[in-house]
Structure 1
Amino acid sequence: MSRRKLSRRQFVAATALSSAALITAPYVRGAYAAGTLSIGLWDHWVPGANKASTDLVNEWAEKEKVEVKIDYITSNGRKNEITIAAEAQAKSGHDILAMPTWWPHAQTELLEPMNDVMTPLIAQNGAVNDTVKYLGQLDGKWHAVPFCIGSQIKGPCSRIDLMKKFANIDVQEMYPAGSQPKADNWTMETFLKAAEACHKGGVPFGIGLGETSDSVDTAGAIFQSFGAQLVDAKGNLTVKTDEVRQALEYYKKLIAFLPPDAGAWDDASNNRWLVSGKGALIMNPPSAWAVAKRDAPQIAEQCWTHGFPKGPKGRFAPHLPYFLAVWNFSKNKAAAKSLITHLSQPTSIEKLVAASGGYDLPAYEKLTTLKTWAEEAPPKGTLYHYPNPYNHQILSIAASPAPPKVAQQIYVQATLTKMCLRHGQGEKMESTLAWAEGECEGFMRS
C-alpha cells in the first residue's frame, strides 16, 4: 500500500479507589441506563475477528442496557487516520475511537484522561512495556488505553528449511516452542552473514527500504540496536553521532544482499515475497504466514516466527500498539470507560487473540502466554515466541525516544530508510547525516 507524502504543514494540520471500582464493583446502571454509545474499531483483516469484538461489545451492552453503534473503519487508504483527524476538527463523532501508535499523542488535548481505567487494569493484568507508555502517556498521565486488536510485533518470520540449508541456522532450536530462547549467537553480525548466505543461495531476505511502515519499522529496530537516535528524549539533535554512523554502515552492507527493488517496496511486498517462496526471511507479524497457510500451505509449514537479532546496545523488536481513546467531547464518558474496561478483561482479550489467530497482542505482561500462540500451526508452536513471552527483546517503535510529536514526523516521512538508501547508493556519510539533520530540524520547528 503506497503512502501519500505529507508536507510538514499538512502533517501538523491533520494531526485509586474510585478507579478500582471500575473492575471490582457492580456497575450502577442509573448512570447511563438506556443511553447510547458509539465506537469506531479497526476493520480487521482476519475473517471472523470483527465478529468476536462485536459479540463482546453486545455482551456488555445487553448487561448495561446501553445501545451501542459499532463502525469498523479500514486502514486502507489511511481511512482510520483520516477519521481521527476529521472528528478532532469537528469535535464530534464516536465516543470511543481506536487509534494506532502515534495518534493518541497527536490528539492529546482532545482526549479524556484514562488513569482511572488504566490503574486497575495494570493491577489486574500486569505492567505494560515502555513503548506502550511512551505512546499512551503524557507527563505520566494516560490519555488512551492499549487495545490488543491491531497491536503487533514485526519480528523475523524465517523459513526453517532455507535458513538451515543456506545459513546453517536452526531457528526452531534457537527459539524452541514452549521454552526460553537460546539465541545468544543471534546477533547483527550473524544476521548479516545469514543474509549474505541466503542471497548467494538465491533466496534473499525480504526486507524493504521503502517509505511505508514495514520498512521503517525494521530500520528503527536496527538503528536502536546500535544505540542510534536522530533526536533524543529531551528533543536534542543526535544525528551526527558514532552510533548513527555505525547503523548506516551496517545497512550499507545489508543492502547488498537484499532484493534490488527493495527501495520501492510497500507493506504488501514482503508478504508476497514470503508466500511466493522467493525468500528465507521477512520482518512481519503473522499476517504473511496466515496468507501462506491459506494459499501456499507447503510454505506455511516451513515458517517460524521468532526474535530480532541483537546489536551492540541490545535486542530490539518493532512494536506497533493500538489504543482505545475517548474524546473529551463524548456525551457518555462513563459508559465509554466501562466498555473499554470490559474489552480489556483477560477473558475478553483471550477471545480476541483466538479470533485473530494470534495476530493481536495484548499489552499486559500477564497475558503473553495464552494458549493460542502455543497451539497455532502449521508447524505447531510457530507463533509461540511472537508475543515475547520471556521479555527476550525490548519492544520499541522507530524514531523513539524522540518526543512523540517529532518522532511521528520522522516515522511518517521515512527519514531512516531514506538515510539508508542515500548512503547505500553511494552518498558520502557526512552528506547523508547533514541531510537528515536538516530534516529533523524542520520537524522540530513545526
Structure 2
Amino acid sequence: MKIVSRNEELLRDALSCLPQPSSRTSLASCNKMIRFEDISAAAFKIQCGVQKTPCMYSRLSKQYGMDIYLKKEFLQYTGSVKERGVLYLLMSLPQEQQRKGVIVASDSNFSMAVAYHASELRVPVFVILPASTAPGRVKMCREYGAMVISYGSTAKDSQVHARRLAQENGYLYLEEEDSAVYLSGLGTVGLEMYEQVPKLDAVIFPAGGHCGLLAGSAAALKHLNPHISVIGVESESFPVLQQSLKAGHPTDDQACNNHHFYGDVSGVCFGSNSLQLTGKLVDKVVAVREEDILISMLRLLEYERATVDAEGAIGLAALVAGKLPELKGKRVAVVICSGNLELHLLQQCIARALTLDNRVCRFSLVISDCPGDMSKLLEILAREEARVLDIKQERTFVTSELFAVKVICTVETRDKIHTAQLRNALLERYPTTGWTER
C-alpha cells in the first residue's frame, strides 16, 4: 500500500535541494536523495535485525514540567542507534561485495555496529584500531566477530592502513557518512517514535558532528506530521552544526579537545545531504555546556537506571539547562542514542556531576588539637545529616596557632538547599570555614 504524505510539499522542497553526491566517498554508488519510501523500506528490511526499543514515559517529567518520553536506543545489542543505519547499509551491498568483506578504522559506535552486524550476515569484517584504543573497545569488537588489527598510534594512521588494505584486497572501506541508505536506516527511529507516542509535540535528537540520526528522522517525522517540532542538540564547545548551517556547507573549524568524553558526537562526518535536510526540516538547533551533559548523565542514572555516554545524554541536557522553555507543558520525546561509556570514565563523570549538582562539597577549617574537638565537628555533620566521604587532618603547615589542626572534609548532601544549610551550621560554629568552589 502506498503511503501518502501529509507534508509532500515541504519534504519535496527539502529533497530537491540536495546536491548530487560526489565520488569521494566509499559508498558513492549508494548516495541519492532520501525519500520517505526509503525509510519505510529500511524499517521493513531491518525489523528482524535490530531492537524496536521502547519509548517510555520518564519520571523526570514532573521535575521539568512536561511529558517526557525517552527513546532508549542504548538498548540495542551494541549499545547504539548506529546499528539501524549500519544493518541497512550492509544488507544493501551487492552480494559480490558481501563475499569480499568490509573494513572500518575507528573506535566508534559505528565500527562496533559494523563488527556485529557484518558477522551476523556472514560478511568478512576487519576493524583497524590505533594502539591507544581503550581495551574494552578492542575486546567488544573481537567478541562481535570482527578481525581486529592494531596499527599506528593515531586514528589517521589506522585509516590510511585500512584504505590500503581495502584497495589491495577488494574490501569495502566503510566510514560514517550521509549516504541515503545509511540515513534511511537511522530515520527508522522517527517512524517508531511516531507510532509509539501519540500526539507528539516535539522530538529532541543529538546533533553535533554526527547529524545523520537528526536528518533521517526529521525526514520521517515531518512527512508524517509537519507540526512536530524537531530539535537538535550539540555541545557549546564545538557547535559545528550551527556553524555549518550558517556557512551553508560542512565545516570543522571548531575542534573537539575532549574526544574521550564526547565520543562519536565529537567528529565531523555529515555531508551535504544531511546538512541540507537539517536546514530544511529541523526547527531548531541548540548548544549545551559540558556541565549540563554531565548532570543529564546523572539524572538518567538515578531516575532511569540508565548508564549512558555524552552522546546519549546530550538531548536531555537541553531540558536540564532550560534551553527549551517553549516545551513546558507539552509532550516531548528525547532520543537516548548511545550507552557506550568507557568504564574508566564512569566514576569520573559521576563524581564531577555530583559536584556540579551541589551534592558533593569540600570545606576546610581549623580546630583545636585537643581531645573531643574532632567529635564536636562530626556531631554537627551528623546532626545536619551530611555523609562524610573523606576527611584529612593537617598539622605541619597550620600557621594560625601551635596546637591546632586543619581539617579538610568532603561530604555528600541531598541537594543545593541541604548544602546551604550545612554551610550555615558550620559557619556559625567555625566562622573561618573555607569552601572549595566547584
**TM-score, length basis structure 2:** 0.22
Look at both structures and tell me which one has the larger radius of gyration over its CA atoms.
2
Query: Relative contact order, CA 8 A, sep 6+: which one is greater?
Result: 1
**TM-score, length basis structure 1:** 0.22
